[in-house]
């Protein structure tokens, strides 16, 4: 890494004090068909409009502009340990496949501004579909593959797609999951009916095609092998995609993203935060159903001219289908990965494996491991840091932000990570800690407040809630008394050096007999027990105390969970630990041991679903097929 030309403090200050000049400079990292005429329009707060007057195309920036210099370089590396397949597409080959997909979408009646819902496993065709939508100016909405029909139906109703792109099935741990029946049921339940469905047939599950509506990708691809499709010129403020936030109940909340601001934000983050360099390889282990997959599997690395690994499978399963706790490190060695992005949850899974697996492959290409999705506890951070001997850089952001809010921009100025902290405020983000009741800004070190962002929010941030500006205002900008600020709904503290520590959701606060306790603080204490691999704490209604804390822990040695005597002893040890760390008031009513916790693919624990099961309620939205089995295990533990 070259020596920084300036300190990060100066870099950050420039972004806050002279935002137009700062972001005009960052806009030079991408290609524009027409240069922007105005950097930021903040005339109608809190709706920020970035790079007005600019014309561009997201797909052009990800693919076409690289063809002169790196046509033969690897662009997309699609790996599936579920099917034992590995396919590398050069920029030229990926460009050709995306044009074929774009031609098929056009042939099926999709035009600029139409919505295309993508319900796909982690396969190359999903990337083709996303990039093809961007190419022709269609708005894509990716829904995590495997979502239950009811959840999928609500998204179909909200997005109103003209076309749905899907597949016969996905696979998890060698078990095929048929998507087509789930999709058919979702369409049946939905008040909106798509005109067409495009299906990739992987040979995993049989499909009953609906005549006139359903089309096979392989057949239509053959008809458009050499059909050129030019990139549509898009206004910077045009919508690129919508994505639904995890954890929503009732009507889904669609995060709406622009085109120009998002492209600039990703290009800048790849340079300043992830130190991504053209010709290198980036590996994000997330899923395109989550925002991390959009930003750092598909668009970010490709905009930076990097190869990106798209991975389908578990972190403990090899290409031969056999157990292999070193598969990710095997890919790092093979493709000379320089930057890797994963989730603390995944690292906790790997933590249960033989530590020798971290030394099995040559990881000398790797410059850093980035983690996000769930707060990174100190024991996990220390374990992976000592094992990989590279910087472990936590980062904090949201579906709404599109790129990190808090982390370290080591390509600007290297800084030491601090265990338990995702880092400092990133350029463009005016991050404040505010008192929940008064809105007063908390400026002294280690004061606990709500993490908020003053407007204008930076490029790449959500524009609004899809088709619901009023909900955007009410949900995000009107929750702090007397202040129009964006609330993250997370508690945080900041130390004297500006490092933030996230303490948990403001709506995950447990009120035990009048004492307000953050679930994150209790989880941190429990996860420090040497036998605990991961833990979720939720507040459960209690007639006497209002709420009590209930803990569900996954042990490093899964066999102990079924041993009643050992479980009782462990539960006592954990209770004593929490007593010592936080006091008796924070002690969970029970600690129950399970083998798996329900979570999104990006690693977020589904606390609301766990809480609902504990209180005998319907867990509601975001219950995938995998989640259903883990929630059933929680039900059984509660009954025992």
Stretch 273-289: mean pLDDT: 96
Residue 376 lies in a domain: yes
Identify the H or E element spanning 159.
helix 149-159
Co-location of 427 and 545 in the same domain = no
Co-location of 463 and 589 in the same domain = no
| Tens digits of residue pLDDT in 197-216 | 999 999 999 999 999 999 99
Whether 626 has a pLDDT exceeding 70, the answer reads: no
Co-location of 521 and 623 in the same domain = yes
| Tens digits of residue pLDDT in 126-163 | 999 999 999 999 999 999 887 778 888 989 999 999 99
Whether 272 has a pLDDT exceeding 80, the answer reads: yes
Measuring CA to CA, how many Å separate 488 from each of 35, 166, 253, 393? 33, 33, 15, 21
CB–CB of 537/523 below 8 Å?
yes
Co-location of 280 and 377 in the same domain = yes
Whether 458 has a pLDDT exceeding 50, the answer reads: yes
Co-location of 462 and 591 in the same domain = no
Query: pTM here?
Result: 0.85
Co-location of 153 and 201 in the same domain = yes
Stretch 185-191: mean pLDDT: 95
| Tens digits of residue pLDDT in 483-524 | 999 999 999 999 999 999 998 777 666 767 656 677 777 888
Co-location of 48 and 185 in the same domain = yes
Whether 125 has a pLDDT exceeding 80, the answer reads: yes
Co-location of 109 and 177 in the same domain = yes
Helices of type H across 304-436: 327-335, 344-351, 378-388
Question: What is the DSSP secondary structure assignment for residue 475, as one 8-state letter?
Answer: I
Residue 155 lies in a domain: yes
Q: Say which range, 377-386, 468-477, 481-490, has the weakest mean pLDDT.
A: 377-386
pLDDT confidence of residue 197: 98
Stretch 388-396: mean pLDDT: 94
Q: How many CA atoms lie within 13 A of 490 on its CB side?
A: 23
Co-location of 570 and 441 in the same domain = no
Percent of the chain with pLDDT strictly greater than 70: 95
**Total domains present in the chain:** 2
pLDDT confidence of residue 620: 65
pLDDT confidence of residue 5: 62
355 CB-near residues (< 8 Å, 6+ apart): 387
pLDDT confidence of residue 545: 73
Residue 297 lies in a domain: yes
Residue 556 belongs to a domain with what CATH number? 3.30.300.30
Residue 167: pLDDT band by 50, 70, 90 thresholds?
A: very high
Distance, in Å, from the CA atom of 142 to the CA atom of 130, rounded to the nearest integer, reads 8
pLDDT confidence of residue 4: 47
β partners of residue 56:
234
Residue 168 lies in a domain: yes
pLDDT confidence of residue 421: 93
The boundaries of the domain holding residue 118 are 8-474
pLDDT confidence of residue 627: 61
Stretch 42-49: mean pLDDT: 98
pLDDT confidence of residue 516: 61
Q: Which of 426, 444, 474 is the last residue of a domain?
A: 474
pLDDT confidence of residue 578: 87
Q: Which of 474, 501, 527 is the last residue of a domain?
A: 474
Give one DSSP letter per residue of 46-79, joined into a string. TEEEEEET-EE-HHHHHTGGGHHHHTTSEEEEEE
Question: What is the DSSP secondary structure assignment for residue 145, as one 8-state letter?
Answer: T
Co-location of 525 and 620 in the same domain = yes
Distance, in Å, from the CA atom of 305 to the CA atom of 62, rounded to the nearest integer, reads 7
The 3-state DSSP class for residue 226 equals: coil
Residue 161 lies in a domain: yes
Closest Cα partner for 11 from 403, 402, 414?
414
Co-location of 141 and 275 in the same domain = yes
What integer best gives the mean pLDDT of the chain? 91
Residue 307 belongs to a domain with what CATH number? 3.40.50.12780
Whether the bond between 553 and the residue before it is cis, its omega within 30 degrees of 0, is no
Co-location of 523 and 417 in the same domain = no
Residue 490 lies in a domain: no
pLDDT confidence of residue 26: 98
Residue 342 lies in a domain: yes
Question: Residue-wise over 551-587: b if at least 16 C-beta within 10 A, else e?
Answer: bbbbbeeeeebeeeebbeebbeebbebbeeebeeebb
pLDDT confidence of residue 247: 40
Residue with tokens 């282990």: 285
Q: Which of 426, 443, 474 is the last residue of a domain?
A: 474
Whether 89 has a pLDDT exceeding 60, the answer reads: yes
Residue 141 lies in a domain: yes
Stretch 14-33: mean pLDDT: 98
């Amino acid at each position: 890494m070259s020596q920084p030309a300036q300190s990060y403090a100066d870099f950050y200050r420039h972004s806050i004090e002279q935002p137009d000049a700062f972001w005009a400079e960052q806009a030079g990292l991408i290609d524009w068909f027409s240069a922007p005429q105005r950097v930021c329009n903040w005339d109608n707060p809190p709706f920020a409009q970035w790079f007005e007057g600019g014309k561009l195309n997201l797909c052009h920036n990800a693919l076409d502009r690289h063809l002169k210099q790196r046509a033969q370089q690897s662009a997309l590396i699609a790996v599936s340990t579920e099917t034992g397949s590995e396919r590398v597409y050069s920029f030229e080959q990926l460009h050709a496949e995306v044009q074929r997909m774009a031609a098929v979408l056009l042939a099926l009646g999709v035009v600029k501004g139409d919505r295309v819902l993508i319900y796909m496993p982690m396969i190359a065709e999903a990337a083709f579909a996303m990039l093809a939508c961007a190419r022709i100016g269609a708005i894509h909405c990716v829904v995590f593959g495997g979502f239950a029909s009811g959840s999928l139906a609500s998204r179909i109703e909200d997005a109103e797609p003209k076309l749905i792109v899907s597949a016969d099935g996905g696979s998890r741990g060698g078990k095929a999951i048929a998507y087509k029946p789930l999709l058919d049921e979702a369409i049946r339940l939905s008040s909106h009916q798509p005109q067409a469905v495009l299906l990739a047939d992987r040979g995993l599950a049989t499909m009953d095609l609906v005549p006139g509506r359903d089309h096979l990708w392989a057949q239509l691809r053959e008809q458009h092998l050499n059909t050129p499709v030019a990139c549509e010129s898009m206004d910077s403020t045009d919508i690129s995609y919508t994505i639904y936030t995890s954890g929503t109940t009732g009507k889904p909340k669609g995060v709406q993203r622009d085109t120009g601001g998002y492209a600039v934000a990703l290009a800048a983050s790849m340079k300043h935060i992830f130190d991504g360099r053209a010709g290198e390889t980036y590996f994000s282990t997330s899923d395109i159903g989550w925002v991390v997959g959009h930003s750092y599997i598909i668009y970010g690395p490709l905009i930076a001219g990097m190869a990106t690994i798209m991975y389908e499978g578990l972190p403990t399963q090899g290409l031969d289908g056999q157990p292999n706790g070193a598969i990710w490190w095997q890919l790092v060695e093979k493709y000379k990965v320089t930057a890797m992005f994963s989730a603390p949850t995944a690292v906790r899974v790997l933590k249960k494996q033989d530590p020798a697996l971290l030394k099995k492959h040559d990881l000398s290409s790797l410059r850093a491991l980035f983690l996000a999705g769930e707060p990174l506890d100190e024991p996990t951070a220390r374990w992976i840091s000592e094992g990989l001997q590279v910087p472990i850089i936590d980062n904090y952001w949201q579906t709404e932000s599109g790129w990190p809010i808090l982390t370290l921009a080591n390509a600007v100025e290297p800084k030491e990570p601090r265990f338990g902290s995702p880092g400092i405020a990133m350029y463009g983000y005016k991050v404040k800690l505010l008192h929940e009741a008064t809105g007063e800004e908390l400026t002294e070190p280690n004061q606990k407040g709500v993490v908020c962002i003053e407007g204008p929010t930076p490029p790449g941030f959500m524009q609004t809630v899809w088709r619901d500006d009023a909900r955007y205002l009410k949900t995000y900008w009107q929750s702090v008394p007397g202040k129009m600020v964006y609330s993250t709904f997370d508690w945080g503290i900041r130390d004297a050096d500006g490092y933030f520590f996230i303490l948990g959701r403001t709506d995950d606060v447990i009120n035990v007999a009048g004492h307000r306790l953050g679930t994150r603080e209790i989880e941190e204490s429990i996860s420090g027990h040497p036998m605990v691999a991961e833990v979720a704490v939720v507040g459960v209604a209690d007639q006497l105390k209002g709420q009590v804390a209930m803990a569900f822990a996954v042990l490093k040695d899964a066999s102990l969970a079924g041993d009643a005597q050992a479980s009782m002893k462990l539960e006592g040890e954990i209770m004593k630990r929490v007593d010592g760390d936080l006091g008796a008031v924070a002690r969970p009513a029970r600690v129950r041991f399970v083998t798996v916790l329900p979570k999104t693919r990006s690693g977020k624990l589904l606390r609301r679903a766990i809480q609902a099961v504990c209180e005998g309620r319907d867990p509601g939205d975001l219950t995938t097929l995998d989640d259903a089995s883990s929630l059933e295990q929680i039900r059984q533990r509660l009954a025992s």
